Chains A and B, each alone.
Chain A
Amino acid sequence: MADQARPDDRWRHVRVLFLAFLGLWLLFTLFPLYFMIITALKTTAETNLTVPTFWPELFAFGNFAAVFAEATNFDALIDSFVIATINTLLSLFLGTLAGYAFARFPRQAGGENLAFWILSNRMFPPVAILVPMFFLFDSTPWGTDSIWSLIILYLVFNLPLATWLMMVFFRDAPRELEEAAYLDGWTPLRAFLRITLPLVLPGMISVAMLCWIFAWNEYLFANLFVGTDVRTYTIVIPTFTHGSQTLWNLQMAFSLIAMIPPVTLFILLRRYMVRGLSLGVVKG
């Protein structure tokens, strides 16, 4: 018995250490979220105390309504949603077709070098093209202050990612399945839609999530491009900072509301996300 107890003890120590580490890690990641939630529930006076409180003295649920006192704030959430969704659909559509071409017809599609060049478009610092892009879109008929400017601009970042990831997923999908379908009597297009596409669906969903979240959260270009006819929620958040003070409680309340769509999507699609991001869609 004594011989067996010793290894057990040792494992208990490892377990305690592991839990302690996890606890510390949770504290680091969850505390900002906790502070965000309680701040959103505080009154303006309480947020301005020199010594911060860690539990609201008074729950000011009215903050969540007050952020919409400015009616256009709600429109900003809609604009962000529309921009992110259309951009995601476009990225997915174009990225899937391009990824398929790179995976199945690498020579005809321009080879590994072109595929890598497309991915490398994702690697430069976005701020480097901020000003050129502004002038470029300023000369379009719809100008910079339009949802279409941001939808097209975000393709610069999302399309390389979507193309590259879809290429990897298509490479994993066995070619023989399509060949078997050709022999069984299907056209290449039908075989692609009915056989191959369902195989890469988990991958497509995770690509869609990545694209959508990038477009939803983008601030730098939105701040410069839009603001009058179109506003994204990311450029509304700083408006709660006034000349003399910052309305921390309203800013946090609005941020929490903006977190709802991505978090909901993550929860609903987490099964596909894990399968898609492990890059092993078909195997096993």
Chain B
Amino acid sequence: MSNVTLSKVNKIYGSGRTGVHAVRDLDLAVPDGEFMALLGPSGCGKTSTLRMIVGLEPITSGDIRFGDLRVNDLEPRERNVAMAFETYALYPNFTVEENLAFPLEVRGVPPAERRRRARELAELLRITEILSAKPPVLSGGQQQRVSLGRALIREPAVFILDEVMSHLDAHLKFQMLFDLKRLHQELRRTMIYVTHDQVEALALADRVAVMSNAELQQVGDRNTLYNRPANMFVADFIGEPPTTFIPVERRDSAECARLHATGAELVFDVAAERIPDLDAHGGCEFMVGIRPQNLHLCDHGATIGGKIVINEYLGERSILSFVTGDVTLQALAPPDTRMAPGEHAGFSLDPRDVMIFDAETGALVT
């Protein structure tokens, strides 16, 4: 069993008034064989979490279990975890083959077997031609593969990747994303992938845990995070270009519930099935979140209109920024959209695509 469970895990660096609370009451369960991504901006506590899982950082309070085994007090080498480092951490005075075989050597695997396994893995990772080279002469992508191979070779219970693609160029990154996904599908090992890049997290992981300010914000698959974000942070962090937030006030008309933007002549109808949630929450001040993907350029029946300020052409799509009142919104449009700044444009918006948040706490209302 290699499911990983974190319950009420806290990490505080230092003590007293100067102490830094890096991870707060973290509850997270990664089932056996799952590819889980830990996503968040830098300084959100994701790397501290990972270092506590592998045992490089002591836990201030809480429990970490692998299967039924509580690992809090185990040394890193007793936990059967493998980790690929952001800086690769290859041993510079060993050859690639020695680097790959090193974890086996430590465990007393005989040389012939070590050699066979290293070659097997080198084939899987397509690094057979550099087996006798030493790390300092390798390219970033090659070092990356060797470091993955060294982590994979001894079939650990949990496999941890720390920002492993942050130093690769975009082209190499896509290649590695593909390889990593393929590896996971072949090996079906529990993997935890730490990153600040939502593209990597969403492309690779079965589920993504979003962290911010030392706290877990939400765990879910990409659809949940995208369509039902738990709060404004997740709605803002997931998705590109980012969600636009508009403060609104609830002023119902005779026939339907309506949200009026406070800074512009904008009115959002509330979908009928959402009214009970809104009623249950009470109050009349909310924040509305609108994803640029959900605004569709149209000639007739526009629900939102405004004056174009920027038309960014990005190859496969265009981003239109437009202003109405003192609100600036962004919308995705087909790449061949010919809209000059100053022109008026109309957009349609499905009421079901409007995300409504509590204005104070930022939590999703409906």
- A residues adjacent to B (C-beta < 8 A): 174, 176-177, 179-187, 195, 198-199, 282
Contact B85 A180 (CB under 8 A): yes
Q: Which residues of B contact A198 (CB under 8 A)?
A: 93
Which of B86, B87, B93, B103 interacts with A184 by CB under 8 Å?
A: B103
Interface size on B, residues (CB 8 A): 22
Q: Which of A174, A185, A199 is packed against the most chain B CB atoms within 10 Å?
A: A185
Q: Which residues of B contact A184 (CB under 8 A)?
A: 77, 82, 102-103, 106, 150, 154
Q: Which residues from 44 to 61 on chain B have a C-beta closer than 8 Å to any C-beta of chain A?
A: 54-56
CA A198 to CA B154, docked complex, whole Å:
25
Contact A176 B106 (CB under 8 A): no
- Additional 9 contacts, C-beta under 8 A, given A182-B76, A183-B81, A282-B92: A174-B89, A176-B85, A177-B91, A179-B89, A181-B91, A182-B55, A183-B76, A186-B77, A187-B77
Which of B55, B77, B85 interacts with A185 by CB under 8 Å?
A: B77
Query: In the assembled complex, how far is the CB of residue A60 from the closest CB belonging to chain B, in whole angstroms?
Result: 52
Contact A182 B103 (CB under 8 A): no
Contact A186 B106 (CB under 8 A): yes
Write out, one digit per residue, whether chain B residues 66-101 have a CB within 8 A of any chain A CB (1) or not (0).
000000000111000111011101011100000000
Contact A182 B85 (CB under 8 A): no
Any A CB within 8 A of the CB of B107:
yes
Which B-chain residue is minimally distant from A186 (CB atoms)? B106
Q: Which of B76, B86, B103, B107 is packed against the most chain A CB atoms within 10 Å?
A: B76
Q: Which residues of A contact B102 (CB under 8 A)?
A: 184
Query: In the assembled complex, how far is the CB of residue B155 from the closest CB belonging to chain A, in whole angstroms?
Result: 13
Q: Which residues of B contact A183 (CB under 8 A)?
A: 54-56, 76-77, 81-83
Query: In the assembled complex, how far is the CB of residue B63 from the closest CB belonging to chain A, in whole angstroms?
Result: 21
Q: Which residues of B contact A185 (CB under 8 A)?
A: 77, 103, 106-107
CA A181 to CA B150, docked complex, whole Å:
11
Query: In the assembled complex, how far is the CB of residue B20 from the closest CB belonging to chain A, in whole angstroms?
Result: 14
CA A174 to CA B77, docked complex, whole Å:
19
Question: 25 A-B residue contacts at CB 8 Å?
Answer: A174-B87, A174-B89, A176-B85, A176-B86, A176-B87, A176-B89, A177-B92, A179-B85, A179-B89, A180-B85, A182-B75, A183-B55, A183-B56, A183-B76, A183-B77, A183-B82, A184-B82, A184-B102, A184-B103, A185-B77, A185-B103, A186-B106, A187-B77, A195-B91, A199-B93
Which A-chain residue is minimally distant from B82 (CB atoms)? A183
Which B-chain residue is minimally distant from A187 (CB atoms)? B77
CA A38 to CA B81, docked complex, whole Å:
69
**Those 9 A-B pairs whose CB atoms lie nearest each other, nearest first:** A176-B89, A185-B106, A180-B89, A184-B103, A182-B76, A185-B77, A176-B85, A183-B76, A177-B89
CA A231 to CA B150, docked complex, whole Å:
57
CA A187 to CA B93, docked complex, whole Å:
19
CA A186 to CA B154, docked complex, whole Å:
14
Query: In the assembled complex, how far is the CB of residue A212 from the closest CB belonging to chain B, in whole angstroms?
Result: 25
Contact A182 B77 (CB under 8 A): yes
CA A199 to CA B55, docked complex, whole Å:
24
Q: Which residues from 133 to 149 on chain B have a C-beta closer than 8 Å to any C-beta of chain A?
A: none
Q: Which residues of A contact B82 (CB under 8 A)?
A: 183-184
Q: Which residues of A contact B56 (CB under 8 A)?
A: 179, 182-183
Q: Which residues of A contact B93 (CB under 8 A)?
A: 198-199
CA A117 to CA B244, docked complex, whole Å:
56
Which A-chain residue is minimally distant from B162 (CB atoms)? A176
Q: Which residues of A contact B154 (CB under 8 A)?
A: 184
Query: In the assembled complex, how far is the CB of residue A204 from the closest CB belonging to chain B, in whole angstroms?
Result: 15
Query: In the assembled complex, how far is the CB of residue A107 from the closest CB belonging to chain B, in whole angstroms?
Result: 9
Q: Which residues of A contact B83 (CB under 8 A)?
A: 179-180, 183
Which B-chain residue is minimally distant from A195 (CB atoms)? B91
Q: Which residues of B contact A174 (CB under 8 A)?
A: 87, 89
Which A-chain residue is minimally distant from B51 (CB atoms)? A179
Write out, one digit per residue, whether chain B residues 205-233 have a CB within 8 A of any chain A CB (1) or not (0).
00000000000000000000000000000
Write out, one digit per residue, whether chain B residues 101-121 have a CB within 8 A of any chain A CB (1) or not (0).
011001100000000000000
Q: Which of A174, A183, A187 is packed against the most chain B CB atoms within 10 Å?
A: A183
Q: Which residues of A contact B81 (CB under 8 A)?
A: 183
CA A185 to CA B78, docked complex, whole Å:
8
CA A187 to CA B106, docked complex, whole Å:
10
CA A176 to CA B154, docked complex, whole Å:
19
Q: Which residues of B contact A186 (CB under 8 A)?
A: 77, 106
CA A282 to CA B81, docked complex, whole Å:
27
CA A201 to CA B180, docked complex, whole Å:
37
Q: Which residues of A contact B86 (CB under 8 A)?
A: 176
CA A181 to CA B83, docked complex, whole Å:
10
Query: In the assembled complex, how far is the CB of residue B101 from the closest CB belonging to chain A, in whole angstroms?
Result: 10
CA A183 to CA B106, docked complex, whole Å:
11
Q: Which of A180, A185, A199 is packed against the most chain B CB atoms within 10 Å?
A: A180
Which A-chain residue is minimally distant from B56 (CB atoms)? A179
CA A282 to CA B91, docked complex, whole Å:
11
CA A177 to CA B94, docked complex, whole Å:
12
Which B-chain residue is minimally distant from A194 (CB atoms)? B91
Q: Which residues of A contact B76 (CB under 8 A)?
A: 179, 182-183
CA A184 to CA B150, docked complex, whole Å:
9
Q: Which residues of A contact B106 (CB under 8 A)?
A: 184-186
